[in-house]
């Protein structure tokens, strides 16, 4: 039914309008003082002398690894959430066991200091 | 509401694994509160977990439970292999504590990973469903990748871990592609249904053959059959020695059990296709393993190539595929566990503060320094070579007899020739120990754990060799594979 | 309408690219990505078959494969980092302490 899509259309229109209106409004009321230094990458420091393409420190990889693991584990939550009413108490317990194991791992790596930015 | 998804038999079937998982997580948490000198307590926690699990398994050994809608079958084949894994893991934990202290890497996650890997192996032999089997395989493999690279500051260990990981992940991918084709052909994830559906398909159907070849390649990577064996010597050499003892026995047995399940349940209708393929690989594995072992100067690499050769002997049992062959594989793993862990324990014991002790030359004059250790090594080498009255002979006897029964005479002759070749390099080690002069005065330090493992492995290597009947009856449990 | 066969051809192509990548490339990260490619080929296979048989098993299997791949990726990157700390390279050729 096309009629059902009208709220969505309205929502989309509102969503587009909101930032446009705010930006336009702000442009009118804020003070404007263009200055060359404001366009440089570091307004209050030395100009960059290296190319920005450099090796990242290995710490980013550790954060990335942890993110990937804990992010992907949520994949199992989706099927359970969809069938929650059918699975009921059994599903809830099963999911608590699953999350419990994850929490043990999380506590372990926290205590190991993997979350600290040394 | 509760019974719809879940029965009590489900919990009963996996009760030993639940205990192991609890203890594994427990080790992780307890470890956080232990100071450095107390880390050895982690080994006790892990052993306690294995003890409880063994007891639980002993109680359910005759139940023959089928759980989770047939995804897990705890038949006597599975129970037999689980006992082997539990014993092997316990023996390895005994020899780990002191080694880790010397290396300065004594942390609790080591024991947790060993337990997780053990859970993976147990599910590998119980699984009847390709999803369960895949998850179990990966649980085992991922734990092992970390364990092989456990010495973080040691470059050899890192490299070994990386090679093991890359080839392991690659082989899992290939195996998984084969599994996905099996699922596509049959529309089921149950190995038994897959077997029925494959039987209905025409012979030499291309899709089935692609599935067979990819599956075989993946499985052969896991059991390190030639030409898929290159990862094994590197992984074995670089890994911490107790871990090498572990991965040369338990995961190999698990991979073989998995292969047996695939070959004799799901791929049974294709037996005419896979027997010739396996025969060629069996001959290659035995010959390449033994001949390469001759030229090794490092005891860890020598034992690594010898373990490739042993995988070749074990394939004989699969090719024969009769009662004798399967019993042979089962008894061989029991025997191999004791003699191989025994030999590796002596390698572990040779690790001294300033000497890695993994060159064969480092063993010079061991007879003068530690006569008992030298005699023990002699017995383990005799057993690995398959000389009566040691246990190794019984294992080889069953495997060789099985191919003779099925009239694969050429294979039997090649296998016997290979056993003769292997005598040469096992005795080279013995000669260095007994004939050469000692290089230093430092004696072996035998910790209580190492002594326990040596005593157990020696006792069983001799007992199985002299009075094998009860062990053969025990191994015949594995015949439930055919039911 | 895309047929099952076409999905399977796509998966087979991805699989082959992955295998060739593992066998020919020398950068560990690229080898690693090729392995991921193989796993994704498997996922396409599983979902296509799941659709063909009109059942959910294959899709659930694909979910498991995704999570296992994530675990493998985490462990693999961890190993690479450990190696990199000891030897500053990601080239498989330069990892030569053990005979390859």
Question: How would you class C4 by CB atoms within 10 Å of its CB: exposed for 0-12, middle for 13-18, buried for 19 or more?
Answer: middle
Of the candidates A87, A104, A111, the beta carbon closest to that of B25 is on A104
Quote the pLDDT of residue C96. Answer: 59
Which span out of B50-54, B103-107, B266-270, B424-428 was modeled with the highest average pLDDT?
B50-54
B1: pLDDT confidence band, cut at 50, 70 and 90? very low
> What pLDDT score does C100 carry?
43
Q: What SS3 state is found at B72?
A: strand
Nearest chain A residue to C83 by CA: give it: A58
- pLDDT beyond 80 at B444: no
Tell me whether residues A90 and B109 touch, CB distance under 8 A: no
B25 CA to chain A: closest CA distance, Å? 7
What is the pLDDT, as a whole number, of residue A86? Answer: 86
Is B358 touching C (CB cutoff 8 A)? Answer: no
Ramachandran category for residue B397: left, alpha or beta (phi over 0 → left; psi -120 to 50 → alpha): alpha
Q: List chain A domain ranges.
A: 1-31, 57-118
Supply the pLDDT for residue A74: 86
Peptide bond just before B59 cis, omega within 30 deg:
no
Average pLDDT of chain B to the nearest whole number: 90
Most A-contacting residue of C36, C43, C57, C70 (CB-CB within 10 A), to test interface? C70
- Please choose, from the candidates B192, B208, B202, the residue with its C-alpha nearest in 3D space to the C-alpha of residue B482: B192
* Helix (H/G/I), strand (E/B), else coil: C91: strand
Neighbours of B86 (CB within 10 A): 22
CATH superfamily of A57-118: NADH:ubiquinone/plastoquinone oxidoreductase, chain 3 (1.20.58.1610)
Residue B456: pLDDT over 60: yes
In sequence order, the 6+-apart residues with CB closer than 8 A to the CB of C39 are: B173, B176, C65, C69
Return the exposure string of B308-318: e unless at least 16 CB atoms fall within 10 Å of the residue's CB, then b.
bbbbbbbbbbb
- Predicted confidence (pLDDT) at residue B353 exceeds the cutoff of 60: no
Domains of chain C: 4-89 (1.10.287.3510)
Q: Which residue has 């690693």 as its token pair? A: C32
Could you tell me which of B204, B111, B217, B104 has the C-alpha nearest to residue B151? Answer: B104
As a whole number of Å, the CA-based R_g of chain A is 25
> Which residue, among B437, B447, B427, has the nearest Cα to B386 in the 3D structure?
B427
Can you tell me the distance from the alpha carbon of B157 to that of B100, in angstroms, rounded to the nearest whole number?
13
* Residue A28 CB burial class (10 angstroms; 0-12, 13-18, ≥19): exposed
- How confident is the model at residue A6, as a pLDDT? 84
pLDDT value at position C89? 63
pLDDT at residue B200 greater than cutoff 50: yes
- Mean per-residue pLDDT for B199-212? 87
Give the integer Cα–Cα distance in Å for C18 and B159.
22
Residues A90, B32: C-beta atoms closer than 8 Å: no
pLDDT in the model for residue A59: 74
What pLDDT sits at residue B259? Answer: 94
Q: Are the beta carbons of B194 and B269 closer than 8 angstroms?
A: no
Tell me the domain boundaries of chain B. 8-482
**CA of C1 to nearest chain B CA: how many angstroms apart?**
20
How much of chain A is helix, strand and coil, in % rounded to 5? 75, 0, 25
Burial class (CB in 10 A: 0-12, 13-18, 19+), B7: middle
* Spatial distance between the Cα atoms of C40 and B224, rounded to a whole number of angstroms: 25
Of residues B104 and B31, the one with the higher pLDDT is: B31
Above 50 in pLDDT, residue B12?
yes
- Cβ-contact B362, B354 below 8 angstroms: no
User: Which is higher by pLDDT, B367 or C51?
Assistant: C51
Chain A adjacent subunits, 3+ CB pairs under 8 A: B, C
**Angstroms from C69 CA to nearest CA on chain A:** 9
Residues of chain A with pLDDT under 70: 1-2, 41-45, 47-48, 52-56, 58, 118
The separation between the first and the last C-alpha atoms of chain A, rounded to the nearest angstrom, is: 57
Cis peptide before B227 (omega within 30 of 0): yes
């Amino acid at each position: 039914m096309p009629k059902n899509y009208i709220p969505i259309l309205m929502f989309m229109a509102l969503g587009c309008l909101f930032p446009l209106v705010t930006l336009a409004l702000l442009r009118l009321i804020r003070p404007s003082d263009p200055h060359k230094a404001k366009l440089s990458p570091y307004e209050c420091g030395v100009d960059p002398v290296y190319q920005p393409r450099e090796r990242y420190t290995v710490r980013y990889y550790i954060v990335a690894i942890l993110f990937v693991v804990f992010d992907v584990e949520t994949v199992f939550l989706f099927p359970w959430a969809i069938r929650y009413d059918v699975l009921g108490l059994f599903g809830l317990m099963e999911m608590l066991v699953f999350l419990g194991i994850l929490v043990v791992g999380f506590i372990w790596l926290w205590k190991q200091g993997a979350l600290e930015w040394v | 509401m509760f019974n719809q998804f879940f029965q009590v038999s489900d919990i009963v079937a996996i009760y030993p694994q639940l205990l192991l998982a609890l203890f594994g997580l427990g080790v992780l948490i307890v470890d956080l509160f232990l100071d450095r000198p107390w880390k050895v307590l982690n080994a006790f926690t892990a052993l306690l977990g294995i003890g409880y699990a063994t007891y639980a398994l002993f109680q359910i050994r005759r139940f023959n439970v089928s759980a989770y809608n047939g995804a897990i079958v705890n038949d006597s084949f599975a129970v037999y292999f689980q006992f082997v894994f539990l014993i092997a893991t316990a023996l390895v934990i005994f020899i780990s504590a002191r080694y880790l202290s010397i290396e300065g890497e004594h942390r609790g996650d080591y024991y947790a990973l060993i337990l997780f890997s053990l859970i993976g192996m147990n599910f590998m032999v119980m699984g009847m469903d390709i999803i369960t089997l895949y998850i179990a395989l990966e649980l085992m493999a991922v734990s092992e990748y970390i364990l092989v690279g456990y010495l973080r500051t040691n470059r050899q260990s890192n490299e070994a871990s990386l090679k093991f990981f890359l080839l392991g992940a690659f082989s899992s991918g290939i195996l998984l592609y084969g599994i996905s084709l099996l699922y596509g052909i049959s529309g089921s994830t149950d190995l038994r249904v897959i077997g029925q559906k494959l039987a209905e398909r025409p012979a030499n159907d291309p899709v089935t053959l692609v599935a067979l070849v990819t599956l075989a390649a993946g499985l052969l990577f896991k059991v390190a059959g030639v030409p898929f064996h290159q990862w094994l010597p590197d992984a074995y050499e670089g890994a911490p020695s107790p871990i090498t003892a572990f991965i040369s026995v338990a995961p190999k047995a698990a991979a073989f059990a998995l292969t047996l399940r695939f070959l004799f349940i799901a791929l049974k209708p294709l037996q005419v296709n896979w027997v010739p393929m396996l025969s060629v690989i069996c001959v290659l594995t035995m010959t390449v393993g033994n001949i390469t072992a001759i030229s090794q100067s490092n005891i860890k690499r020598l034992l690594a190539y010898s373990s490739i050769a042993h995988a070749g002997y074990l394939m004989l049992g699969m090719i024969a595929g009769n009662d004798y062959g399967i019993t042979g594989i089962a008894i061989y793993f029991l025997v191999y566990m004791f003699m191989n862990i025994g030999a590796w324990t002596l390698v572990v014991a040779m690790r001294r503060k300033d000497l890695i002790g993994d060159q064969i030359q480092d063993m010079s004059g061991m007879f003068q320094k530690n006569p008992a250790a030298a005699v023990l090594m002699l017995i383990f080498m005799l057993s690995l070579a398959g000389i009566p009255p040691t246990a190794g002979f019984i294992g080889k006897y069953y495997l060789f007899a099985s191919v003779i029964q099925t009239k694969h005479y050429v294979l039997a002759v090649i296998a016997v020739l290979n056993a003769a070749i292997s005598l040469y390099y096992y005795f080279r080690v013995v000669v260095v120990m007994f004939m050469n002069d000692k290089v230093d005065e430092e004696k072996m330090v035998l910790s209580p754990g190492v002594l326990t493992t040596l005593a157990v492995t020696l006792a069983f290597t001799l007992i199985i060799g002299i009075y094998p009947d009860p062990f053969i009856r025990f191994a015949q449990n594995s015949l439930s594979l055919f039911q | 309408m895309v047929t099952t066969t076409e999905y399977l051809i796509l998966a087979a192509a991805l699989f082959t690219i992955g295998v060739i990548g593992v066998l020919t490339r020398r950068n560990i990260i690229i080898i690693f990505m090729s392995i991921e490619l193989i796993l994704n080929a498997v996922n396409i296979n599983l979902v296509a078959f799941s659709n063909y048989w009109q059942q959910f098993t294959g899709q659930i299997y694909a979910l498991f494969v995704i999570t296992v791949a994530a675990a493998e990726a985490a462990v693999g990157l961890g190993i690479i980092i450990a190696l990199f700390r000891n030897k500053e390279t990601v080239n498989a050729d330069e990892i030569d302490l053990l005979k390859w």
